[in-house]
Chains A and B, each alone.
Chain A
Amino acid sequence: MSRLPTFKGGIHLPEYKELTEREKIKKLPLPPRVVIPLNQNVGSPPRPVVEVGRPVKAGEVIAEPEGPVSSTLHASVSGVVTALDLFPYPAGPDSLAIEIETDQNDSSPELIPSISDPSRLSPDEIRRKVLEAGVVGLGGAGFPAQVKLDPPEGSRIEYAVINGVECEPFLTVDNRLMLEETGKLLAGLRIIMRATGAREGIIAIEANKMDAFYKVQAVVHKEKDIRVRLLKVKYPQGAEKQLIYSLFHREVPAGGLPSSVGCVVQNVGTAIAIAEAVLSGRPLIDRVVTVTGPEIKDPGNFRVRIGTPFQYLLEAAGGLPDGEIKIISGGPMMGIAQATLNAPVIKGTSGLLVMRPVSRERNLPCIRCGECLRVCPIGLIPSDLGTMADKERWDDFEGLGAENCIECGCCAYVCAAGRDLVQLIKLGKAALASRKVQK
């Protein structure tokens, strides 16, 4: 086999995908209540347009976009709005959310008639539909999809890339979607190409998902302007900049966007959501979540409504094991450990992991083994960044290029001294940002 394309740096991780990669996507019954945080997208959070006590239907708009980079929120179930208050949030402190008590009718408003031929739509219309459907990046970051479909003035998009890499261990959402919703994926890619004017579509898949590769290949091979590319299994292959480098040997400039090297990248789930939004006018009110862990009874991939509490989701997978455990929202490398199971699934939630914590020595002095800078996909020196953040030497910290860090976690994974390098760098970046605000 010829050598598969990849990037510099990175690490090889145990995959743990076997737990769920063959589990078909299951639809979960409606939860008794949902909690829909307002803050689910990069940019400004949408403004709520419902008040407590008001009945809503599934798919009805409950918050409207605010500002140029924002998104729309919809009620994910039909029922009554019971609160607009602070609720646990999976990616940080308690956050403002709308709580809806489900009425189990699951009635939805009329969907806008479907459009069979998206090539008749203008790019502006596509973007409007995507915005109205509240589609944001489902890979985790939550970047509003319509913004990505609107390349900045002066840049010409050559490639529309579907990111089917899913390099985080454990997660199998994109894998299942590629297998089960191949047609929609392709439709989504067509729409993205149409909206951005890309001349070629690429579906990038890591070589550990051969089933998905063959399935997608079988569908795509007739298409002249769409290719499937197999990539080497390496973390973080799915990071946007690394993916673009692997595919085209182009480096997105530091601080720049993929569009500056002629690319637009969308996650598999996002592409499918775009297809649904544009073709059938269906808003983004549910998503697929991998619920897994070595000690979970029934791990699987579940299609759940946005706002479903983790508690409900975990019970569907067989409940929590006893003893000391760690709950992670997202993948094990970049995911966030949870304090409570009351936090809900949001648009960016790709997985829910239950792990046994392994205690180890942490934050010993750096022995300068240099492993972190060999695995850093960005070419930073994480050990020094960590030290500078720890000693609050912000000028040096910035001078070492801290702002380029993608927080992939490779450095902390390999650190022999067990230093929490990513945490240090995150804290440092936050301090840097607040220092800039002060100035």
Chain B
Amino acid sequence: MKGKKERLFKVTPAPQLHGGESIPRVMWTVMLALLPAFLASLYFFGWKAFQIEAVSVITAIFTEAVIQKLRGRPVTITDGSAAVTGLLLAFTLPMDVPIWLPAVGAAFGIGVGKHAFGGLGHNIFNPALIGRTFVMHSWLPFMTTWSPPRLAMYAQVDAVTYATPLGAAREAVISLVPSPDGIFSTMDMFWGSIGGCIGETSALALLLGGVFLLIRGYVRWQTPAAFIGTVVLLTWVLPVKEGAIALAPYHHLLGGGLFLGAFFMATDMVTTPVTGAGMLVFGLGCGLITSIVRLYGGFPEGVCYSILVMNAFTPLIDKFTRPRIFGT
């Protein structure tokens, strides 16, 4: 006790090296990958899109902070996970929603979808999609009214009769039927100059972000490949239901939220399977449900539901796709 104080060394458990990966790094990289789509949303939908995104992100972060404070847990809003949820939620909303709607969605998504289950890492369902589904079925009219993108050359069509490509085909609105000569050209769909939720229209921007995540290894090829592949295949081979207009597979590919869902939602680490085989199954299931809902269901778009349903299947998939143990 007396005498000179002995020098204490640091002792940590093996391994003594760490690769430097961290939760904030993962989350902020995903944010970065969402940047092109964010810019695209500003470009096509303008100031209003920014408002929606800002409200959603801020509410998500605020809700997370409040809940963590109340529970006496460390507040981890800087890790970016709440921000990602908020931005993804905003991306799935149409431009004409009232400004309080993203706030309600974000609060519900973070509160019920995430923290009721114990917070980051414990949630079963994708919080952004939970938030979206909640507002979707609470205020259906807002969520199914579409304004034409700001820079669309056919802006003379008014908001009431405007529709997304998938919606138009379902309602069999002939004047809006997607065709190379019609108002939704494939190019429009690729750039994003079509009706739809603010973050989902630009296939190009989403693809950029998606490929970036693929390269960084935060997204594995299995999920998007299986998801997109199944949708393209099924929408190609399955007949449409009576009264609707058959769309080409590439319309299904580009005309809705498939890219956003396949690259950013179905690949959420927490709520999807961990193994490659599991991801294939997950993607397949998503594709199947999306196609069925789009072709035969009551809603023109099924990406959101398909991912939520498969989220519920994730623990089961994980259980049955365990890797083989070496030497067994």
A binds B: yes
Which residues of A are in contact with B by a Cβ distance under 8 Å?
8, 11, 13-14, 169, 241, 245, 251-256, 324-328, 332-340, 353, 355, 357-358, 360-361, 364-371, 373, 376-381, 383, 400-401, 404, 407, 409, 412-418, 420, 422-423, 426
Instruction: Please tell me if the beta carbons of A414 and B9 are within 8 angstroms of each other in the complex.
Output: no
Instruction: Please tell me if the beta carbons of B328 and A413 are within 8 angstroms of each other in the complex.
Output: no
**Per-position 1/0 for B15-52, Cβ under 8 A of A:** 11111011101100000000000000000000000000
Knowing A367-B269, A373-B274, A416-B26, the reply to whether A381 touches B18 (Cβ < 8 A) is no
Contacts of B122 on A, CB cut-off 8 Å? Answer: 365
Instruction: Please tell me if the beta carbons of A413 and B327 are within 8 angstroms of each other in the complex.
Output: no
Instruction: Please tell me if the beta carbons of A377 and B326 are within 8 angstroms of each other in the complex.
Output: yes
Contacts of B327 on A, CB cut-off 8 Å? Answer: 241, 251-256, 378, 404
Min distance, Cβ B153 to any Cβ of chain A, angstroms? 43
Quick one: which of A8, A255, A412, A417 contacts B23, CB cutoff 8 A? Answer: A417
Instruction: Please tell me if the beta carbons of B14 and A409 are within 8 angstroms of each other in the complex.
Output: yes
- A-B CB contact pairs (8 Å), 12 listed: A328-B16, A337-B11, A337-B16, A355-B16, A364-B121, A368-B269, A369-B269, A401-B325, A409-B14, A413-B17, A416-B23, A417-B23
Instruction: Please tell me if the beta carbons of B10 and A365 are within 8 angstroms of each other in the complex.
Output: no
Min distance, Cβ A329 to any Cβ of chain B, angstroms? 11
Q: Is B5 an interface residue (CB 8 A)?
A: no
Contacts of A414 on B, CB cut-off 8 Å? Answer: 19, 21
Q: Is B119 an interface residue (CB 8 A)?
A: yes
Total contacts A-B at CB 8 Å = 145
Q: Which residue of B lies closest to A334 (CB)?
A: B14
Contacts of B25 on A, CB cut-off 8 Å? Answer: 416
Q: Is B293 an interface residue (CB 8 A)?
A: no
Give residues 148-170 of B contacting A (CB, 8 Å): none
Knowing A254-B327, A370-B275, the reply to whether A416 touches B22 (Cβ < 8 A) is yes
Instruction: Please tell me if the beta carbons of A335 and B14 are within 8 angstroms of each other in the complex.
Output: yes
A158 to B95, CA, bound (A): 71
A85 to B173, CA, bound (A): 92
Instruction: Please tell me if the beta carbons of B120 and A326 are within 8 angstroms of each other in the complex.
Output: no
Contacts of B22 on A, CB cut-off 8 Å? Answer: 360-361, 416, 418
Q: Is B98 an interface residue (CB 8 A)?
A: no
Contacts of A353 on B, CB cut-off 8 Å? Answer: 16
A339 to B15, CA, bound (A): 16
Instruction: Please tell me if the beta carbons of A423 and B13 are within 8 angstroms of each other in the complex.
Output: yes
Give residues 290-328 of B contacting A (CB, 8 Å): 322-328
Q: Is B12 an interface residue (CB 8 A)?
A: yes
Quick one: which of B13, B15, B326 contacts A251, CB cutoff 8 A? Answer: B326
Knowing A326-B16, A365-B121, A416-B22, the reply to whether A339 touches B9 (Cβ < 8 A) is yes
Q: Is B270 an interface residue (CB 8 A)?
A: yes
Min distance, Cβ A424 to any Cβ of chain B, angstroms? 9
Contacts of B269 on A, CB cut-off 8 Å? Answer: 367-370
Contacts of B326 on A, CB cut-off 8 Å? Answer: 8, 241, 245, 251, 254, 377-379, 404
A338 to B324, CA, bound (A): 36
Q: Which residue of B lies closest to A251 (CB)?
A: B327
Provide the main secondary structure of the chain B interface.
Answer: loop
Q: Which residue of B lies closest to A325 (CB)?
A: B9
Knowing A365-B119, A367-B121, the reply to whether A325 touches B10 (Cβ < 8 A) is yes
Contacts of B322 on A, CB cut-off 8 Å? Answer: 381, 400
Provide the main secondary structure of the chain A interface.
Answer: loop
A7 to B310, CA, bound (A): 33
A334 to B19, CA, bound (A): 15
Instruction: Please tell me if the beta carbons of A379 and B325 are within 8 angstroms of each other in the complex.
Output: yes
Instruction: Please tell me if the beta carbons of B15 and A409 are within 8 angstroms of each other in the complex.
Output: yes
Instruction: Please tell me if the beta carbons of A333 and B17 are within 8 angstroms of each other in the complex.
Output: yes
Quick one: which of A253, A370, A378 contacts B274, CB cutoff 8 A? Answer: A370
Knowing A327-B9, A367-B26, A416-B26, the reply to whether A13 touches B17 (Cβ < 8 A) is yes
Instruction: Please tell me if the beta carbons of A422 and B15 are within 8 angstroms of each other in the complex.
Output: yes
Instruction: Please tell me if the beta carbons of A337 and B12 are within 8 angstroms of each other in the complex.
Output: yes
Min distance, Cβ A436 to any Cβ of chain B, angstroms? 19
Instruction: Please tell me if the beta carbons of B328 and A254 are within 8 angstroms of each other in the complex.
Output: yes
Contacts of B270 on A, CB cut-off 8 Å? Answer: 367-368
Contacts of A325 on B, CB cut-off 8 Å? Answer: 9-10
Q: Which residue of A lies closest to B327 (CB)?
A: A254
A232 to B12, CA, bound (A): 29
Knowing A339-B9, A368-B269, the reply to whether A333 touches B325 (Cβ < 8 A) is no
Instruction: Please tell me if the beta carbons of A373 and B323 are within 8 angstroms of each other in the complex.
Output: yes
Instruction: Please tell me if the beta carbons of A358 and B324 are within 8 angstroms of each other in the complex.
Output: no
Instruction: Please tell me if the beta carbons of A415 and B9 are within 8 angstroms of each other in the complex.
Output: no
Interface centre among B15, B21, B274, B328, by most chain A C-beta atoms within 10 angstroms, is B15
Contacts of A333 on B, CB cut-off 8 Å? Answer: 14-17
Min distance, Cβ A397 to any Cβ of chain B, angstroms? 14
Contacts of B218 on A, CB cut-off 8 Å? Answer: 369
Contacts of A371 on B, CB cut-off 8 Å? Answer: 21
Contacts of A245 on B, CB cut-off 8 Å? Answer: 326
Min distance, Cβ B212 to any Cβ of chain A, angstroms? 17
A336 to B121, CA, bound (A): 30
Knowing A339-B9, A339-B11, A422-B13, the reply to whether A11 touches B19 (Cβ < 8 A) is yes
Contacts of A327 on B, CB cut-off 8 Å? Answer: 9
A417 to B275, CA, bound (A): 18
Q: Which residue of B lies closest to A340 (CB)?
A: B9
Q: Which residue of B lies closest to A400 (CB)?
A: B322
Instruction: Please tell me if the beta carbons of A357 and B325 are within 8 angstroms of each other in the complex.
Output: no
Contacts of B16 on A, CB cut-off 8 Å? Answer: 326, 328, 332-333, 335, 337, 353, 355
Instruction: Please tell me if the beta carbons of A413 and B121 are within 8 angstroms of each other in the complex.
Output: no
Knowing A339-B11, A420-B13, the reply to whether A367 touches B325 (Cβ < 8 A) is no
Contacts of B19 on A, CB cut-off 8 Å? Answer: 11, 413-414
Q: Which residue of A lies closest to B16 (CB)?
A: A332
Min distance, Cβ B83 to any Cβ of chain A, angstroms? 15
A260 to B328, CA, bound (A): 13
Contacts of B323 on A, CB cut-off 8 Å? Answer: 373, 376, 379-381
Quick one: which of B15, B120, B328 contacts A334, CB cutoff 8 A? Answer: B15
Q: Which residue of B lies closest to A169 (CB)?
A: B17
Quick one: which of B9, B13, B17, B21 contacts A416, CB cutoff 8 A? Answer: B21
Min distance, Cβ B323 to any Cβ of chain A, angstroms? 4
**Per-position 1/0 for B243-287, Cβ under 8 A of A:** 000000000000000000000000001101011000000000000
Min distance, Cβ B5 to any Cβ of chain A, angstroms? 14
Instruction: Please tell me if the beta carbons of B18 and A358 are within 8 angstroms of each other in the complex.
Output: yes
Q: Which residue of B lies closest to A409 (CB)?
A: B15
A377 to B22, CA, bound (A): 22
A252 to B327, CA, bound (A): 5
Instruction: Please tell me if the beta carbons of B10 and A413 are within 8 angstroms of each other in the complex.
Output: no
A373 to B23, CA, bound (A): 17
Knowing A366-B121, A368-B121, A370-B269, the reply to whether A381 touches B274 (Cβ < 8 A) is yes
